[in-house]
Chain A
Amino acid sequence: MSPLGNLLRSSLGRKLIMALTGVVMVGFVVGHLVGNLQIFQSPDHLNGYAAFLHQLGPLLWVARIGLIVSVALHIWAATSLTLENKRARGNEPYAVKTWLRASLASRAVRWTGYIVLAFLIYHLAHFTLGVAGSDHFKSNLPTYTMQEDYRVAGFMVVKAGAVVADVHSMVILGFQSVAVSLFYIIAVGLLSFHLLHGIDSLFQTLGWRSTNWARVLRGVALAFCVIYFVGNLLIPGAVLTGAKGLRPGFSREAVKTTSVQR
């Protein structure tokens, strides 16, 4: 077997796959959060951003396929490693089992993973595919006319006057449901908890962690997870508390009319 084939089949190689796909996904969720926080600006921002992403065309699909492959590899590696671990432990369990130092985040990582996966499927059905909560899905809402130009890194990407999907209103309508918002908050909380072990672990797996700076790394991972969670909490939180309402000029009647027309 070739050395690289060997690497990817070995225990350490599959852990490397866990770590690297984890890095890709952490990068994605950070970008996703930063992009979504534009909801606190005028509707031009989130709607322009969404229109910009769709304008990317094939590039958007490159990113999507990259993410799907990352998720699939992460789950595959986790599953095959976990099954081996169960086999390795043997048939006879310890009568007395104590934990010596394993963190709660590390012990819960498999379960937080399951719930995050369930949430991911719901989230795609909700805001990407429009299968869940289709009454407020962007294609069932009145379109939005850009008031100002939307620029990315100084480049004009969506002109004022362009007619785009009203993602801004879709998100707010989505989060006005208490059950939906709570599920989002819990799931993102668990994702943050998942990342607390994941981020710390990936440095160990890549061989970049050492006791000299393990405390700093732990602190940075914790700070990251708290900031990430609070950032995500802001969006449903602001909608639920009424701090972030629908844009002026948006009417619920318009939703009903367009829904009926379809």
Chain B
Amino acid sequence: MVAEHSSKNFGITLRVWRQAGPTQPGRFVDYQSQDLNPNMSFLEMLDVVNDELTRKGEEPIAFAHDCREGICGTCACTINGKPHGPGKGVATCQVYMRAFRDGDVVTVEPFRAAAFPVIKDLVIDRSAFDRIQQAGGFITARAGSAPEANALPVPKPDADLAMDAAVCIGCGACVAACKNASAMLFVAAKVSHLGLMPQGQAERDRRVLAMVGVMDAEGFGNCTNQYECSAACPKLISHDFIARMNRDYFTASLRAAVKPASSGASGGA
């Protein structure tokens, strides 16, 4: 038998952060959202609310979304105080209205952090993540067709662990959930998924030093080991990767301090 709250239409009070632009002051506005199908997604509910607003000639609520299946990392709403809303291991687009009850007041805010300025309403600028990635979240390698799979053996457990980090969709929920707006989980995931692969070894030290450097410069906070990030992560990336990044960073710093560098005296090879 289907539970009543997943079959009967209902209504909620939507309390949404409205902000016209990056420099404009924002405020919460209440909307009555009625006759909701419990099996519609949270973003579909916003679509319905926006339809009504558009019909009334009001400015619709701006929110970021793209794939609507939890793999692109574009949607970014803090719903009732939790980034991506109720449920474990879900992005905003994977939240369904059956997670709420008739008459609920549902508060929707953007992911908040000084490094993620609001562009409009619920849309934030996450280009700080791009700049961290550009500092070292890649391997410098010949880009051609896929190499022969057995040329470079990777133990299965290593590949699996690397994949656990590589599932990061860069949504920023970790930053939003952290009381310090720290990007440690994001950076740790990006550093680790390449650091665990043989292809990533050549630039491993340079990568972690550069990415942490940009992370600090972008104004993200510092980790206080409360692990709110991994609890909010739609991909449930473990904070074990943060420990791993700490270790990588310290050893890379020590190596950078003592490792001899070429003086270039021979004028190159």
| CB nearest to A80 among chain B residues | B222
Residue B112 is within 8 A (CB to CB) of chain A in the complex: yes
Q: A22 vs B223: C-alpha distance in the bound complex, in angstroms?
A: 16
- B239 lies within 8 A of A89 (CB): no
| CB nearest to B224 among chain A residues | A106
Q: A100 vs B82: C-alpha distance in the bound complex, in angstroms?
A: 8
Docked complex: B198-257 residues within 8 A CB-CB of A: 209, 212-213, 215-216, 219-228, 231-232, 238-240, 242-250, 253-254, 256-257
- B80 lies within 8 A of A88 (CB): no
Total residue contacts A-B, CB cutoff 8 A? 149
Contacts of B242 in A (CB 8 A): 204
| CB nearest to A102 among chain B residues | B226
Docked complex: A90-135 residues within 8 A CB-CB of B: 90-103, 106-107, 109
Q: 1/0 per residue B68-102: CB within 8 Å of A?
A: 00000000001011100000000000000000000
Q: 1/0 per residue A175-213: CB within 8 Å of B?
A: 000000000000000000000010011011111111100
Give the Cβ gap from A28 to chain B, nearest Cβ, in Å. 22
Q: A55 vs B216: C-alpha distance in the bound complex, in angstroms?
A: 47
Stretch with Cβ within 8 A of A (4 or more), from B6-14, B53-61, B176-184: B176-184
| CB nearest to A95 among chain B residues | B107
Contacts of B209 in A (CB 8 A): 3, 6
Contacts of B219 in A (CB 8 A): 87-88
Q: Which one, B113, B224, B238, contacts A89 given CB within 8 A?
A: B113
Residue A16 is within 8 A (CB to CB) of chain B in the complex: yes
Known contacts A85-B180, A95-B28, A204-B246; A103/B253 CB under 8 A: no
Contacts of B254 in A (CB 8 A): 3-4, 7
**Besides A95-B15, A210-B243, 16 other A-B contacts (C-beta < 8 A):** A4-B257, A11-B212, A11-B216, A12-B212, A12-B249, A15-B246, A81-B222, A88-B114, A88-B221, A93-B112, A102-B227, A106-B226, A204-B225, A205-B243, A206-B250, A209-B243
Nearest 5 CB-CB pairings of A with B? A207-B247, A88-B221, A85-B180, A96-B81, A102-B226
